[in-house]
Structure 1
Amino acid sequence: MIRAVKPEDAEQLSQIYDAYQSQSGGGWERDPLEPDRMAEHIAAWTPRLPWLVYCELDKPLGYACAMPWREQPAFRYTVETCVYLDASVRGQNLGSQLYRALIGQLREQQFHQALAAIPLPNAASIRLHEKLGFRKVAHFNEVGCQAERWINLGYWQLLLARFAPQAAP
């Protein structure tokens, strides 16, 4: 079942993120992402941006979310997106299902562009994003440092909707 995130999901989502980060080196946090900090992210971003969770028996086993790409008003129609799955459900097409639902909501909310920052190498994430229509637009060498090694970062971009922008309120 895919549903909107709830505040009480923060603990499980932080565990999913931390496990992903420790197993793949794909996260950007230096220390574990504490549930309180995850709850702060949820509270700050979900009034405007969708966060979706995949649950079995109401236990979150994965999530896809949108975050502001930049805080300046000029970037209000562009979001950064990501998806994280518990190791027990990877390879079951759930990442695609979550991401499609997220992209659908972003289109309904009239966002223009979605960006995904992918630590490289990461064949599975690249495959997922490109399957959903994202295209690589940037490659940065050695911009992150995790586990005492330099990490390259690629950006993938997806056009969500074409529309004439409105003046900022």
Structure 2
Amino acid sequence: MIRQATTADAAAIAAIYNHYVLNTTVTFEEQTVTTEQMAERIEQVQNDALPWLVLERSGDLLGYAYATKWRVRSAYRFSVESTVYVKDAVTTKGIGSQLYQQLLAELKALGLHLVIGGITLPNDKSVALHEKFGFEKCGHFHQVGFKFEQWRDVGYWQKLL
């Protein structure tokens, strides 16, 4: 079941996310996120009238996807950045695809025009997910982040809705 997240989901979402914070470079956060901080993030996305979705199966939250404003200037109001995370144990089960399909449909229904995905490189799985949904690479920043004692590149993919 895919549904809108609530702040009651914050602990499960933080648990999924913190795995990536501590063990990967897919996020440039270096400190784990508390349940309270995650609840605030969920509220901010929803206050901006954007979707934050979770995929739940038998009471277990397996992944989430959401969109945030791309920039604060009003001319950017039809562009968003997308995010999707899946519980580490189930990353090859199509959960990310299910979430992305629903997220993109909801963003289109909201009248948004452009979705942007930022990907720490290399990350073949994330690139494949984005390209599966029609995203095209539009930019590449070299050595823009520093995590785990290494400089990291970030590529940007975009999709017109």
Q: Across the two proteins, how many residue pairs are aligned to each other?
A: 160
Give the deviation of 1:126 after TM superposition. Answer: 0.1
Q: Secondary structure at the residue paired with 2:158?
A: strand
- Quick check: 2:115–2:158 contact (8 Å CA) kept in 1? yes
1:31 and 1:141 map into 2 onto residues whose CA distance is: 23
Q: Secondary structure at the residue paired with 1:46?
A: helix
What per-residue deviation string (whole Å, max 9, x for no partner) do you get for residues 15-60 of structure 1? 1111123232211112001111111111111131001001122221
- Structure 1 residue identity aligned to 2:139: A
What per-residue deviation string (whole Å, max 9, x for no partner) do you get for residues 69-100 of structure 1? 11111111100001000012111111011000
Which stretches in structure 1 are left out of the alignment for 5+ residues? 161-169
What per-residue deviation string (whole Å, max 9, x for no partner) do you get for residues 128-152 of structure 1? 0000100000000000111111110
What per-residue deviation string (whole Å, max 9, x for no partner) do you get for residues 85-130 of structure 1? 0012111111011000000000000000000000000000000000
Same amino acid, percent of matched pairs: 40
Which stretches in structure 2 are left out of the alignment for 5+ residues? none
Q: TM-score normalised to the size of structure 2?
A: 0.96
Deviates more, 1:51-60 or 1:1-10: 51-60
- Structure 2 residue identity aligned to 1:102: L
Q: Secondary structure at the residue paired with 1:20?
A: helix
1:30 and 1:73 map into 2 onto residues whose CA distance is: 31
1:7 and 1:59 map into 2 onto residues whose CA distance is: 15
Q: 1:124 — aligned with what?
A: 125
Q: 2:30 — aligned with what?
A: 30
Q: 2:59 — aligned with what?
A: 58
Q: 1:115 — aligned with what?
A: 116
- Quick check: 1:115–1:156 contact (8 Å CA) kept in 2? yes
- Quick check: 2:21–2:31 contact (8 Å CA) kept in 1? no
Q: TM-score normalised to the size of structure 1?
A: 0.91
1:30 and 1:68 map into 2 onto residues whose CA distance is: 22
Q: 1:105 — aligned with what?
A: 106
Q: 2:40 — aligned with what?
A: 40
